[in-house]
Amino acid sequence: MQKVALVTGCRSGFGLGVAQIAARTGFVVYAGLRDIGTRQALEDATRGLPVHPIQLDVTRADERASAVERIRKEHGRLDALVNNAGLPLGGFLEQVEEDELRHLFDVNVFGAWGMTKACLPLMRASGGGTVVMVSSMSGRTAIPGLGAYAGTKFALEGLSEAWRHELAVFGIRVVAIEPGAYRTDIFSRNRRICRNARDPSSPYAPYVERLDRLYDRTVARIARDPDEVCRKIVELMSERRPAFRHPVGPGARPREAALWLLPFGAIEAAVHRALFKS
């Protein structure tokens, strides 16, 4: 029986790539878009493949339920869910306003939680499956200027770990993939900063420009083709006994090793030198 996958956030980047590769490897893919009117790039990239663009804003319970019900009616099963939809947000935490932080958590945390919850009954009825949470290395280490984003990814890691335990009894595997820097819209069209980040009167103003330069230099030097992450996600969708966490890409392994081997004080000193010292 042909396997069925639901992938969120498929306008570009990892979501679009996963939809394309998964369809080529035998999945029927339902590709969620926050605005179905933006489906052109997805349709062009997946022409001739079993990919179905669907309206799916993960923050809306009615759209989550509608997506799952359509899959149930058309295929009667769901074998994989990829929670890819997410937003970045730059800015020092004191600069971030409450509405910005709430919206970020609504998409990155509550959206993934709600989407998973909506899919679980159909996945259980299908005899199990895989939930892939697209996290980040920012879900393991938080750096200045990305604290709000890191907060959402730390929360997603906690949810994922608990679900890993809770759903194993039903044959549902939960994995977290933790990409480093890749050339996706998160660094261009979707690059978002809080509205107060450029305030020249802010006590953080001297550090914002420095952080921008450091960020741009790092991305230009090490960012890689997102296809690497997309292929890894598709592999995990079919793996029978996947490990829980999967750091992927530039800087991911060294940062993971640093977490295990270095005291926090050493990491703290390195961050402080890079950003706050001339």
Other residues' Cβ atoms within 10 Å of the Cβ of residue 75: 17
CB < 8 Å & 24+ apart, contacts of 153-161? 153/108, 155/105, 155/108, 155/109, 156/108, 156/109, 156/112, 157/133, 159/109, 159/112, 159/113, 159/133, 160/133, 160/135, 160/244, 161/244
Yes or no: say if 196 and 202 are a contact pair by the CB < 8 Å rule. yes
Residue carrying the six token digits 């996706």: 184
Q: Quote the tokens at residue 247.
A: 């750091």
Q: Which of 30, 149, 207, 215 is catalytic?
A: 149
Question: For residue 184, which of 90, 86, 269, 268 has the smallest C-alpha distance?
Answer: 86
Question: For residue 174, which of 185, 189, 161 has the smallest C-alpha distance?
Answer: 161
Residue 25, helix vs strand vs coil: coil
Length of the chain: 278
Q: Quote the tokens at residue 255.
A: 């940062």
Q: Does residue 149 have an active-site annotation?
A: yes
Containing 203, the helix (H) or strand (E) segment is none
Q: Running DSSP on this structure, what letter comes out for residue 94? A: G
Q: Quote the tokens at residue 103.
A: 């919206």
Catalytic center residues? 149
